[in-house]
Amino acid sequence: MFEYNFHWRPVFRSLPDLLEAALTTLQVASLAMTVGVLLGFILAVGRMRETGVIYWFATTWVELARNTPALFQLFFFGFGLGALGLHLSPYLIVLAGLTFNTAGYLAENFRGGFEAIPSTQLRAARSLGMNPLQAYTRILIPQVMRIVYYPMTNQFVWVVLMSSLGMLVGYRELTGETQFFASKTYRIFEYFAVTAVIYYVMVKVILVLSKVFASRFFRY
């Protein structure tokens, strides 16, 4: 009945290539996360205005990012823009898609974080003579960071995993690379099993590091 013979040797031979692709995954995910944090922050501030062009722009972004499949968002930057004559490289398609999605999710986290802080904190800071920039950077944002830290960690994990969609737009990140070897050697199960382990280890390391950083940063 069960006649499949496992052949692990090809997988182990291409392990260096897979690990290199894992670094590619981490690299594109980190960049998408970093830009996503900045854009998400700007979108959150835009959403807090509650009216005007900026509000509607930010709201549309957030709604699309959160309520359509991430894959479609990637395809938009690939085939969608391609149809309009703008051809991005696979790397840029993945980066743009992940960033768009992440910024949308984080914007809502950040907005929730700001709303969780009593308005009296801002008033107290201003009454000490702090200007708005000082009040935000020294009083409000550190508290928001504390609130959104673990949601942000989860989002980063999600970005790492979601970057596997890159395979579908021809990007050789970890999943793309795995697919390349798997179809060359027909050892499909073996390759994807090993790659699953690599993803698992990456995510665990991220979660542990996140805990370590948290115990350093948040002393209260």
Partner 1 sequence: MIKVNGLHKYFDDLHVLRGIDLEVQKGEVLSVIGASGSGKSTLLYCINGIEQIQEGSVYVDDVDVHSKATDLNKLRQRLGMVFQQWNSFPHLTALENVALAPQIVRGLTKAEAKDIAIKQLEHVGLGDKFDVYPNALSGGQQQRLAIARALAMDPQYMLFDEATSALDPELVGEVLDTMRVLAEEGMTMICVTHEMGFARDVSDRVAYFHEGVVEEIGSPDQIFVDPESEHTKKFLAKVR
Residue numbers of the site for partner 1 (CB under 8 A)?
A: 118, 120-121, 123-131, 134, 138-139, 142-143, 146, 218-220
Decide whether 69 or 118 has the Cβ nearer to partner 1: 118
In whole angstroms, how close is the CB of 116 to partner 1 at the nearest point? 12
In the DSSP assignment, the letter for residue 173 is S
Structure tokens at 11: 């997988």
CA nearest 107: which of 163, 175, 54, 69? 54
In whole angstroms, how close is the CB of 119 to partner 1 at the nearest point? 10
Decide whether 51 or 131 has the Cβ nearer to partner 1: 131
In whole angstroms, how close is the CB of 214 to partner 1 at the nearest point? 13
23, 174, 192, 213 from 16: Cα distances, Å: 11, 11, 15, 29
Decide whether 45 or 122 has the Cβ nearer to partner 1: 122
Residue with the two structure tokens 């090993």: 194
| Total residue length of the chain | 220
In whole angstroms, how close is the CB of 126 to partner 1 at the nearest point? 7
Decide whether 81 or 147 has the Cβ nearer to partner 1: 147
In whole angstroms, give the CA distance from residue 17 to residue 86.
31
